[in-house]
Structure 1
Amino acid sequence: MLRRTLIFAALCVGTSASVPLFLQGGSESIQTLLPSNAEAPMAESAVARIETRPAAVATAASPGGRKVEIAADARGHYLADFRINGRKVEALIDTGATAVAMNLTTARRLGVALRPSDLTGAVNTANGKARAAAAMLERVEIGRISVENVQAVVLEDRALDTVLIGMTFLNRLKTFRVDQGRLTLAQ
């Protein structure tokens, strides 16, 4: 159990270093992209292409709410099918990401009304500097878990090739934890 926890912690640290959301200096910061109630700084990051399929998601009602369990894939990532604004999307759960993050093309497909000219913030990614904008997602769902009005960051397409489910969603849950290679989300 301790070994798995340490492995997960190492994975989180590694993932934090592989997600394009860390702002370094400049005139704009992620805190200016998100509303003022954003609590944590963005994690340093760079993105690697994720080519694995989402793990099966088991949903169960719990006495105090709803639970979803996601098995880690072969690389130790927690991928699952979500619904954002009512539309299905594959996403990577990333506890090192401050916000839900996606590229502009995906955001538009999910009903977020942004234009390239709206991307006025600047972020540093593994692919160099990228433009970004804050967005509000009407609803983010996985299984029977549903959270409304979730803050997100939208990056230009070249900066990110997967949807990241970060702390602006996870902090709205009752709990999330990892045990024996399974991530449990509860609402």
Structure 2
Amino acid sequence: MITRLLAIAGGLALVALVVPDLASSYLERQNETTTQGVPRAAPVTAAKYASGKSIVLEADAAGHFFGTFRINGRSERGLVDTGASTIAINVSAARRFGISVGSLAFNARAQTANGIVEAAYVRLDRVEIGGIALKGIDAMVLPDKALSGMLVGMSFLSRLSSYRAENGALYLVR
């Protein structure tokens, strides 16, 4: 009886040692072939929609990630910038998004690549890309001469469940 119990206990100990390694090996293989359900082997296009709640943006030749966002229902090309605290738009884009620029208080200061400029805080009603839609996103409006395009910063990215750059692609997941 004791011999039999020792044999069973030894077998269970062996299973306890092997099973975690099997699970780890399986997960490693899965991670090599898929990422958030998106096959890594699949070719990545400029804006490939991975699912309703995620999107993959391909890096341009300089390694930057651009996407077409919808701000308050209007399309605008934007550069995803993890170094930007908020979404940054210029006055012209703010007008296109239905923001009354004349009523904005340009009492904030923003550090740009070209120095410090006056800026105004706004809240965007809705920001979308692919199947990802977020409401009430903070942004800053800068003078046209200080910003030629839209930057999509951390006020958007931090509201996602995850984002990461990998193998020349940026994965955004809601």
**1:117, CA displacement in angstroms?**
6.0
Q: Taking structure 1 as the reference length, what is the TM-score of the superposition?
A: 0.65
**1:89, CA displacement in angstroms?**
0.2
Q: Whole-Å Cα distance in 1 between the matches of residues 113 and 49 of structure 2?
A: 35
Instruction: Structure 2: give runs of 5+ residues left out of the alignment.
Output: 1-44
Q: Taking structure 2 as the reference length, what is the TM-score of the superposition?
A: 0.70
- Is 1:75 aligned to residue 62 of structure 2? yes
Q: Whole-Å Cα distance in 2 between the matches of residues 172 and 179 of structure 1?
A: 20
Match among 145, 154, 159 for residue 167 of structure 1? 154
How many equivalent pairs are there? 130
Q: Whole-Å Cα distance in 2 between the matches of residues 77 and 128 of structure 1?
A: 21
Q: Whole-Å Cα distance in 2 between the matches of residues 101 and 114 of structure 1?
A: 14
Given that residues 46 and 59 in structure 2 are in contact (C-alpha distance below 8 angstroms), is that contact kept between their aligned partners in structure 1? no
- Structure 2 match to 1:56: 46
Instruction: Structure 1: give runs of 5+ residues left out of the alignment.
Output: 1-54
Secondary structure of the corresponding residue to residue 184 of structure 1: strand
- Structure 1 match to 2:108: 121
RMSD, matched Cα: 1.7
- Structure 2 match to 1:86: 73
**1:164, CA displacement in angstroms?**
0.3
Letter in 2 for 1:102: I
More relative contact order in 1 or in 2 (CA 8 Å, sep 6+)?
1
Higher share of residues assigned strand? 2
Higher share of residues assigned helix? 2
Identity %: 42
Q: Whole-Å Cα distance in 1 between the matches of residues 97 and 120 of structure 2?
A: 15
**1:95, CA displacement in angstroms?**
0.5
